[in-house]
């Protein structure tokens, strides 16, 4: 009982610190993990060995491998090239620009880290808006919202998906056959809703549409040779993801091997490349795993699972819906990674109690992914876009996000709920 209370308090305090932005999330996770292991050793419910074993190296390996590939691609100007190409194609028409930039960002973020994608596309978006003479706000918000929504479609699109795939044993193809169709409908809903919400801004014809036609995408592409090499390796890795089941390869192995191949081929200045890897994210994950491992060892998550399992009378479809909305609401206010890491053992517990849990994994993925759209701090991509816009003349405020982002979250979650009910038999397979 005491270990349960202590470990629960450590986890709750950590979530609170992250939520209230009192302390950086990585620092919080490291301190929380240390406190958890310390309490575990003192009270005898958790050991150092168990803490190390709780770290999911499959998740870390996949993230590290993909981060290295992006780190190699980042300085080549490839992202800049794509954004400018999209701007030219739009001929400066606001709605077309929103659709094209939103699509480019989404497609990139389905295979690469959302944050990196947004970090690289957003400054070019501000450039395009300024020379056109239009507000960058609708475009920036659309990029964050659409990339977060689209990221749910693939195993590698979103960190919660990586976690869920690793725990549930889902393959890359499972995501394409189960999550992608739902995400596609939700994504289109989000796009149409954004078109409606920003109808005033998008209704104005930009005064300087010809300026974007004078932008030369080729000049923005600094290093084609490296970009080609990395894209070939990335393409090969994605092909391997498709056949990973048949070859019995883990996503982590594919990603790390791909990064190794790219590093050998490109032979970059390795310290520069490694500097672009987001170590704070990797350490955040590792520390969270160690912290949540303590919660599990103390029996808290088993108790939660037992509590949920008592609701046997609840129809499984309803349980899935509740999961989706609760996770979405939590993800809107707290980082979705700790939520996902904490819920994984709970769902596993329900599975051990004999419940059908495959649909619950999908509900978790959809809720964690779409929930982040709700507030400015809901996802890392939102935070990046907002903090970048703070350095411009038209900053995105929290109030604005609540008026334009929250409806998108509610609409995508509603669409996901309907499709979840309709596709329930398919999601159980």
With contacts defined by CB under 8 A, name the span among 20-28, 130-138, 245-253, 346-354 that binds other proteins.
Answer: 130-138
Q: Does 391 bind other proteins (CB under 8 A)?
A: yes
Shortest gap between Cβ of 207 and other proteins (angstroms)?
Answer: 6
Shortest gap between Cβ of 85 and other proteins (angstroms)?
Answer: 12
Q: Does 272 bind other proteins (CB under 8 A)?
A: no
Alpha-carbon distances, residue 129 vs 147, 159, 165, 359 (angstroms):
19, 30, 38, 42
Q: Does 222 bind other proteins (CB under 8 A)?
A: yes
Identity of the residue, 65 or 206, whose beta carbon is nearer to other proteins in the bound complex: 206
With contacts defined by CB under 8 A, name the span among 214-222, 312-320, 338-346, 397-405 that binds other proteins.
Answer: 214-222
Site for other proteins in 229-248 (CB under 8 A): none
**Count of chain residues binding other proteins (CB under 8 A):** 26
Q: Does 216 bind other proteins (CB under 8 A)?
A: yes
Shortest gap between Cβ of 412 and other proteins (angstroms)?
Answer: 29
Q: Does 381 bind other proteins (CB under 8 A)?
A: no
Judged by CB under 8 A, which of 48, 188, 205, 219 binds other proteins?
A: 219
Shortest gap between Cβ of 53 and other proteins (angstroms)?
Answer: 43
Q: Does 38 bind other proteins (CB under 8 A)?
A: no
Q: Does 211 bind other proteins (CB under 8 A)?
A: yes
Q: Does 393 bind other proteins (CB under 8 A)?
A: yes
Judged by CB under 8 A, which of 51, 212, 234, 262 binds other proteins?
A: 212
CA pair distance 366, 340, nearest whole angstrom: 11
Q: Does 269 bind other proteins (CB under 8 A)?
A: no
Q: Does 207 bind other proteins (CB under 8 A)?
A: yes
Q: Does 133 bind other proteins (CB under 8 A)?
A: yes
CA pair distance 274, 279, nearest whole angstrom: 9
Q: Give the per-residue contact string, 71-90, with other proteins (x = CB under 8 A; - = no).
A: -------------x------
Q: Does 127 bind other proteins (CB under 8 A)?
A: yes
Site for other proteins in 97-126 (CB under 8 A): 123-124, 126
Q: Does 156 bind other proteins (CB under 8 A)?
A: no
Shortest gap between Cβ of 72 and other proteins (angstroms)?
Answer: 16
With contacts defined by CB under 8 A, name the span among 94-102, 143-151, 387-395, 411-419 that binds other proteins.
Answer: 387-395
Mapping DSSP onto H, E and C, the string for the chain reads CHHHHHHHHHHHHHHHHHHCCCCCHHHHHHHHHHHHHHHHHHHCCCCHHHHHHHCCHHHHHHHHHHHHHHHHHHHHCHHHHHHHHHHHHHCCCHHHHHHHHHHHHHHHHHHCCHHHHHHHHHHHHHHHHHHHCCCCHHHHHHHHHHHHHHHCCCCCCCHHHHHHHHHHCCCHHHHHHHHHHHHHHHHHHHHHHHHHHCHHHHHCCCCCHHHHHCCCHHHHCCCHHHHHHHHHHHHHHHHHHHCHHHHCCCHHHHHHHHHHHHHHHHCCCHHHHHHHCCHHHHHHHHHHHHHHHHHHHCCHHHHHHHHHHHHHHCCHHHHHHHHHHHHHHHHHHCCHHHHHHHHHHHHHHHHHCCCCCHHHHHHHHHHHHHHHHHCCCCCHHHHHHHHHHCCCCCCCCHHHHHHHHHHHHHHHHHHHHHHHHHCHHHHCC
Q: Give how far the C-alpha of residue 360 lies from the chain's centroid of Cα atoms, to the nearest Å.
A: 18
Shortest gap between Cβ of 391 and other proteins (angstroms)?
Answer: 7
Shortest gap between Cβ of 309 and other proteins (angstroms)?
Answer: 51
Nearest to 67 by CA among 244, 243, 284: 284
Shortest gap between Cβ of 78 and other proteins (angstroms)?
Answer: 14
Judged by CB under 8 A, which of 40, 206, 338, 367 binds other proteins?
A: 206
Distance in Å from the first CA to the final CA of the chain: 38
CA pair distance 302, 121, nearest whole angstrom: 43
Judged by CB under 8 A, which of 9, 38, 210, 239 binds other proteins?
A: 210
Q: Does 280 bind other proteins (CB under 8 A)?
A: no
With contacts defined by CB under 8 A, name the span among 29-37, 190-198, 217-225, 338-346 that binds other proteins.
Answer: 217-225
Shortest gap between Cβ of 208 and other proteins (angstroms)?
Answer: 4
CA pair distance 255, 398, nearest whole angstrom: 36
- Contacting residues toward other proteins, per CB under 8 A: 84, 123-124, 126-127, 130-133, 206-208, 210-212, 214-217, 219-220, 222, 388, 391-393
């Amino acid at each position: 009982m005491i270990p349960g209370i202590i470990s629960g308090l450590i986890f709750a305090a950590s979530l609170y610190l992250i939520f209230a932005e009192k302390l950086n999330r990585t620092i919080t996770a490291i301190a929380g993990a240390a406190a958890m292991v310390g309490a575990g050793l003192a009270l005898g419910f958790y050991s150092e060995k168990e803490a190390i074993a709780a770290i999911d190296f499959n998740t870390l390996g996949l993230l590290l491998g993909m981060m290295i590939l992006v780190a190699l691609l980042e300085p080549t100007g490839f992202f800049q090239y794509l954004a400018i190409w999209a701007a030219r194609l739009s001929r400066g028409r606001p709605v077309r620009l929103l659709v094209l930039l939103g699509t480019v960002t989404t497609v990139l973020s389905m295979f690469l880290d959302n944050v990196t994608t947004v970090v690289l596309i957003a400054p070019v978006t501000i450039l395009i808006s300024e020379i056109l003479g239009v507000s960058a706000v609708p475009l920036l918000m659309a990029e964050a919202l659409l990339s977060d929504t689209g990221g749910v479609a693939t195993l590698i699109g979103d960190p919660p998906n990586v976690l869920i795939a690793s725990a549930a044993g889902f393959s890359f193809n499972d995501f394409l056959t189960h999550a992608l169709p739902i995400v596609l409908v939700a994504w289109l809903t989000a796009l149409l809703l954004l078109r409606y919400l920003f109808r005033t801004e998008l209704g104005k014809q930009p005064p300087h549409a010809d300026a974007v036609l004078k932008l030369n995408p080729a000049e923005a592409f600094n290093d084609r040779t490296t970009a080609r090499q990395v894209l070939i390796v990335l393409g090969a890795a994605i092909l391997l993801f498709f056949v990973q089941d048949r070859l019995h390869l883990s996503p982590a192995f594919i990603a790390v091997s791909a990064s190794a191949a790219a590093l050998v081929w490109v032979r970059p200045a390795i310290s520069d490349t490694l500097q672009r890897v987001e170590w704070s994210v990797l350490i955040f994950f590792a520390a969270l795993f160690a912290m949540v491992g303590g919660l599990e060892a103390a029996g808290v998550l088993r108790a939660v699972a037992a509590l949920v399992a008592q609701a046997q009378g609840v129809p499984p479809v309803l349980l899935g819906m509740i999961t989706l909305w609760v996770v979405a609401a939590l993800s809107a206010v707290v980082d979705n990674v700790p939520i996902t890491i904490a819920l994984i053992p709970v769902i596993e517990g329900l599975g051990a109690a004999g419940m059908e849990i495959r649909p619950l994994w999908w509900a978790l993925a959809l809720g964690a992914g779409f929930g982040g759209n709700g507030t400015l701090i809901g996802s890392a991509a939102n935070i990046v876009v907002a903090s970048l816009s703070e350095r411009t003349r038209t900053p995105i405020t929290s109030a604005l996000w609540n008026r334009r982002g929250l409806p998108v979250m509610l609409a995508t979650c509603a669409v996901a709920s309907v499709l979840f009910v309709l596709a329930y038999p398919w999601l159980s397979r």
